[in-house]
Amino acid sequence: MTDIEKDEALRAADEFVKIVSQHVFKIKKINAKLRITVSIGVSLFPESAMDRNGLLRSADYALYRAKEKRNCAVMYSSILDDLKFNVSSDLN
């Protein structure tokens, strides 16, 4: 996904979340229907990290934030980005 823009990556992840949450999974052995939800963390090279391990850490951090919100996709942003956003929101 190196050439995909941030909004395209997040849009694809959001679409996946939507498709899975709308699908009814049928479990024939126990004659049951099941709906599930997913949370997705998205990180991009080189914006989120410069190597594979860094990308995984970034995606894991974004996934943790997505799980807090539940049933969504979240793009990685650094803690500094989060602090800048919170400070600017507090000032306004």
Nearest partner of 57 among 73, 41, 80, 69, judged by Cα = 41
Is residue 63 within 8 Å of 56, Cβ to Cβ? no
Q: What is the pLDDT of residues 15-73, one digit of tens each?
A: 999 999 999 999 999 999 999 999 999 999 888 889 999 999 999 999 999 999 999 99
Task: Decide: helix, strand or coil at residue 37.
Answer: coil
**Where are the domains positioned within the chain?**
6-91
What's the fold here for domain 6-91?
Alpha-Beta Plaits (3.30.70)
Lookup result for tokens 């941030």: 6
| Confidence label for 88 from pLDDT (cuts 50, 70 and 90) | low
pTM: 0.77
Over 50: is that where the pLDDT of 75 sits?
yes
